[in-house]
Structure 1
Amino acid sequence: MDGIDRAILRRLQDDGRMTATALAEEVGLTLAPCHRRLRELENSGVIRGYRADVDPAKVNLAFEALVFVTLKDRLTMKDFEYEVGKIGQIIDAQRLFGEPDFLLRVMAVDLPAYQRFYDDVLVTLPGVEKLTSTIVMKNLKSGGRLPI
């Protein structure tokens, strides 16, 4: 990966809908080499996809909670990870070093909806020993760009 590839990635992180023509112009390439580099970045998995940045409040999902999860033991870790991957309301999930074992980012309509999700889904996940929730008061920064 060279400086031009990094420039392509920086620009696409700012505007994923940018046309290849505009992208080529901004990074100092002609269209064909820009297309080739873009395809290589996609095929190699550097670019994982393109998405719309949706405002959660505009789609009635303004309630956000961070949930710290501690598992009883490591025997259920794979099952836990698999189940978490299938749940749409969990929009981010990280496995952590130390305690707790996982951090989940959960979206809901409101507090009662989150409480139902907690009672009906989170506590039933494989191997859960302890759940600790904290409510997000305000997002200061989201959709961060990688410092390429």
Structure 2
Amino acid sequence: MARVKLDAVDRRILSNLQDDGRMTNVELANRAGITAPPCLRRVRTLETSGVIKGYHADLDPDALGYSIIVFALVSLKSQAEADLQAFEKHVEDLPEIRECYMLNGEIDFVLKIVSTDLQAFQRFLTSKLTPAPNVASVKTSLVIRTSKRQPGIPVDLTAD
């Protein structure tokens, strides 16, 4: 996606929506310092241009029984593009894997995995991840504590 030119009002809109995607257009317009109709037009433009990719609810994993978070470092036997894409497709179909990043260097992918308990994670690891085609090794680290979790990106309100 090409970089989109954003003015200060666009940045205020984005910052506020990132903090609370459920606020009304009237509240968003007030916070951005404009009236509601142009605010709605700007939001629609930001959506159609792909700057705003979507909206979602921020769910509490513990409340839904997902008390285990694990990061897995995956090395593949081959880094041919077809093999990388096959692994990404495999990961896409596993709901326990919440994030997947391809890296450069020794490790090919880092995955964020959620699980209900350690036994369920062990079953997932041995039945779905390590036997996946082209997987050479998987190293895992269990999250002990989350000290910062801030989805999104920093929005520079001073840039123009």
Give the TM-score of the pair, scaled to structure 1.
0.97
Q: Which residue does 2:117 correspond to in 1?
A: 110
Structure 1 position 122 matched with structure 2 position 129: yes
1:87 Cα deviation from its structure 2 partner: 1.2
Which structure 2 residues correspond to residues 62-141 of structure 1 after superposition, within 5 A?
62-75=67-80, 76-141=83-148
1:18 to 5, 23, 38: 23
Q: What 5-or-longer segments of structure 1 have no aligned partner? A: none
Question: Alignment RMSD, CA only?
Answer: 0.9
1:13 Cα deviation from its structure 2 partner: 1.0
Q: Distance in 2 between matches of 1:126 and 1:141?
A: 34
1:144 Cα deviation from its structure 2 partner: 3.1
1:25 Cα deviation from its structure 2 partner: 0.7
Q: Which residue does 1:5 correspond to in 2?
A: 10
Q: Secondary structure at the match of 1:70?
A: strand
Q: Secondary structure at the match of 1:88?
A: coil
Q: Which residue does 1:49 correspond to in 2?
A: 54
Deviations 1:7-29 (A, max 9, x none): 00100111110000000011111
Aligned length: 148
* Structure with the higher helix share, 1 or 2: 1
Give the TM-score of the pair, scaled to structure 2.
0.90
Identity rate of aligned residues, in percent? 40
Q: What 5-or-longer segments of structure 2 have no aligned partner? A: 1-5, 156-160
